[in-house]
Structure 1
């Protein structure tokens, strides 16, 4: 069992208080069969924006965990969970209540407050397997900065929409694949 400091106890208490039964959340964190993950409803203490991994990775221009963590720490400055179990993985950014209601599409979506339960890893769980904190909360009420969450999403969408880079030294029109001519070689 991990020794809990006053700091980690305060963060654990804060996250658990988002659950209607805080003792249940703490019990779920202690259960290895549940992956040390508690189901906590969104919209009580914080809202959550789910961002597709492809958007985050496009913004960061990397997929490795240390690059993503360093970039997110510098940009959103708040707690982020990575769901590493899902085949289409996602990042979950904890934001202030009501601050990101405009995110409504599949790639970046506010989880419906009050009706969505988020898998929240035990506060000291910062590595795979399963859901883990890319950036754990540092204190009570530690949340991502909404404007920077928006910047992250917009930058990723822009990068994903960019056409592939041209190959240096090759004419622009020649880069498109074409059907072979009859009798021609490939």
Structure 2
């Protein structure tokens, strides 16, 4: 990809993400501000919904905590943008999904952020590493979102693996 094409694509993604903010220019300014960690607060439920999944569930599904291995696994499964919220005390992954999807997720370990009342810390499109919030998988283009059924599959697998590990621990068997 040439530099100009990459720049155009990145600008398109940034404009798309900023369009979710009531003042898109404010979102762009927040991305440029190192004091804000290059993260803009953007309301959910305007151009995408967000499913926030506890890191322990994602890591149990992946079978690893390494950032690169988690990214490779998620890239092969969910096919869309994922933010790792490493600033949060609960440390979670946020999956951007189509509006109206995933409303059934209401548990502590995986829940859809309430549209219209929740603001998500969205890193600038080029922020793909720690520290703080970063894109595990950045949007590739305008309207790029995760496939909801695959996000559901990931959550089920993580919960299943956590339950198996807890059962093994209760029985006192080595893993």
Q: Same fold (TM over 0.5)?
A: yes
Q: Is 1:55 matched up with 2:57? A: yes
Q: Could you list the runs of 5+ residues in structure 2 that have no partner in the other structure?
A: none
Partner of residue 179, structure 1? none
2:90 and 2:169 map into 1 onto residues whose CA distance is 25
Partner of residue 72, structure 2? 70
1:97 and 1:105 map into 2 onto residues whose CA distance is 19
Shift of 1:49: 0.2
Which structure has more helix as a fraction of its residues? 2
1:104 and 1:165 map into 2 onto residues whose CA distance is 27
Larger Rg: 1 or 2?
1
State the Cα RMSD in Å.
1.6
Q: Is 1:164 matched up with 2:168? A: yes
Shift of 1:86: 2.0
Shift of 1:165: 7.3
Aligned residue pair count: 167
Shift of 1:87: 3.0
Partner of residue 35, structure 1? 37
Partner of residue 126, structure 1? 128
TM value normalised by structure 2: 0.92
2:19 and 2:9 map into 1 onto residues whose CA distance is 15
Partner of residue 180, structure 1? none
